[in-house]
């Protein structure tokens, strides 16, 4: 009786999980169909699979836009780490008097609606000729991700036992050695989590990209949106392009699931 109920609950759980996951599954499946099969009603579950939609997506320049996404995401993640690691360390292990105010300032910048500050940024970029420039994108993504990164990183640093740091200081370690040899190895999983989350947010960003880029610096998300046009059949090629665009993040997220979960749960709860 007990095991029967448990089995029923397991089946129920799996049914819900698969329903929840279905849109992604269907997107990947549709990507391998012909346009005709993709928009047929009732939906076809047994079809001839083809790679031609992926080919079509690349012919329309998908590779170029993915490359821009990669440069913007990796670039901003590197700068985020370079700025956030020392800042979070300063705010946690070497407490300064106004920690709360500084933290509050950082986190409040994250909650400032980007829509409100994008107009001045847009006009400034337009004036200095910085529109459609990948560097502008990198800097803006850094600004968006920095507060979250500092907040999460601080919670990881706070887990480092103070005794270890003090011992290193007594042994005469200077700040650089203290940080690179003693503290960073301990918080490495935390840094991985912050890097991953920062990468994901930058890779997935649509609003800023669609406003400040047009051709040269255009990233994958606004390009995807351009697939939908009035000419009708686009579902299969849209699915193929979407699959290409979401795959790197999904694979990274799955592979580093432990870090991702830790980062999100810690950043939120601690």
Partner 1 sequence: MTTTAPPQQGSIAVAHAAHRTAKKKARVARRLVLPALIFSIVLTQIPFLVAIVFSTLEWNQLRPDKIHFNWFANYAVVFTGPDFFSSLISTVTITGSSVVLSLVFGLMFALLLDRKFTGQALARTLVITPFLVMPAAAALIWKWSMLDANVGMVNWGLNLVGLPSISWNTDLPVLTVIMMLTWQYTPFFMLILLAGLQSQSKEILEAASVDGAGPIRVFESMTLPHLRQYIEIATLLGSIMMLQVFDPIAIMTKGSGGTKTLSYLLYERAFIGLDVGQAAAFGVVTVVITIVTTSIILRSLFSVFIDGGKR
Looking at residues 60 to 99 of the shown chain, list those that interact with partner 1 (rule: CB under 8 A): 83-84, 86-87, 89-92, 94-97, 99
- State the Cα–Cα distance between residues 250 and 21, nearest whole angstrom: 13
Binding mask 200-229 for partner 1 (x = CB under 8 A): x--xx-xx--xx--------xxx-xx-xx-
Cα radius of gyration (the chain): 23
Token digits for 214? 């047009």
C-alpha torsion sign, points 55, 57, 62, 66: negative
Nearer to partner 1 by Cβ, of 42 and 129: the residue is 42
Nearer to partner 1 by Cβ, of 42 and 185: the residue is 42
Least distance CB 117 / partner 1 (angstroms)? 4
Q: Which stretch in 49-57, 58-66, 142-150, 183-191 sits in contact with partner 1 by CB under 8 A?
A: 142-150
Q: Which of 14, 55, 128, 167 binds partner 1 (CB under 8 A)?
A: 14
Q: Tell me how many residues contact partner 1 (CB under 8 A).
A: 101
Residue 148 φ then ψ, to 5°: -60, -40
Binding mask 96-135 for partner 1 (x = CB under 8 A): xx-xx-xxxxxxxx-xxxxxxxxxxxxxx-----------
Conformational region of residue 132, where left means phi above 0, alpha means psi within -120 to 50, and beta covers everything else: left
Least distance CB 27 / partner 1 (angstroms)? 5
Nearer to partner 1 by Cβ, of 97 and 230: the residue is 97
Least distance CB 226 / partner 1 (angstroms)? 10
In our burial notation (b when 16+ CB lie closer than 10 A, e otherwise), range 43-67 reads: eeeebeebeebbeebeeeebeebbe
Nearer to partner 1 by Cβ, of 49 and 123: the residue is 123
Q: Which of 49, 135, 167, 175 binds partner 1 (CB under 8 A)?
A: 175
Q: Do the beta carbons of residue 77 and residue 198 sit within 8 Å?
A: yes
Least distance CB 109 / partner 1 (angstroms)? 5
Count of other CB atoms within 10 angstroms of residue 223: 23
Least distance CB 235 / partner 1 (angstroms)? 6
173 makes contact with partner 1 (CB under 8 A): no
Q: What is the DSSP string of 189-247?
A: HHHHHHHHHHHHHHHH--HHHHHH-SSTT--HHHHHHTT--TTS--HHHHHHHHHHHHH
Q: Which of 18, 36, 51, 135 binds partner 1 (CB under 8 A)?
A: 18
Token digits for 237? 């090629």
Q: Do the beta carbons of residue 247 and residue 57 sit within 8 Å?
A: no
């Amino acid at each position: 009786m007990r095991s029967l109920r448990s089995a029923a609950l397991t089946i129920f759980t799996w049914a819900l999980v698969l329903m929840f996951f279905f849109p992604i599954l269907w997107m990947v499946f549709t990507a391998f169909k012909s346009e005709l099969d993709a928009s047929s009603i009732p939906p076809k579950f047994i079809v001839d699979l083809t790679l031609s939609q992926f080919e079509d997506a690349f012919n329309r320049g998908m590779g170029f836009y993915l490359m821009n996404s990669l440069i913007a995401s990796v670039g901003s993640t590197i700068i985020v780490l370079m700025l956030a690691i020392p800042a979070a360390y300063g705010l946690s292990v070497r407490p300064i008097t106004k920690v709360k105010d500084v933290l509050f300032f950082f986190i409040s910048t994250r909650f400032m609606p980007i829509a409100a500050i994008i107009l001045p940024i847009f006009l400034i970029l337009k004036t200095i000729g910085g529109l459609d420039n990948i560097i502008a994108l990198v800097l803006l993504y850094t600004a968006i991700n920095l507060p979250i990164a500092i907040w999460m990183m601080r919670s990881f640093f706070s887990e480092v036992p103070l005794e270890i740091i003090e011992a290193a200081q007594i042994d005469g370690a200077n700040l650089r050695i203290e940080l690179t040899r003693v503290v960073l190895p301990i918080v490495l999983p935390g840094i991985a989590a912050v890097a991953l989350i920062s990468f994901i947010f930058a890779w997935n960003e649509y609003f800023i990209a669609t406003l400040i880029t047009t051709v040269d610096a255009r990233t994958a998300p606004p390009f995807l949106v351009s697939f939908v046009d009035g000419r009708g059949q686009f579902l299969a090629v849209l699915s193929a392009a979407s699959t290409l665009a979401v795959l790197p993040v999904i694979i990274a997220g799955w592979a580093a699931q432990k870090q991702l979960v830790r980062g999100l749960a810690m950043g939120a709860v601690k």
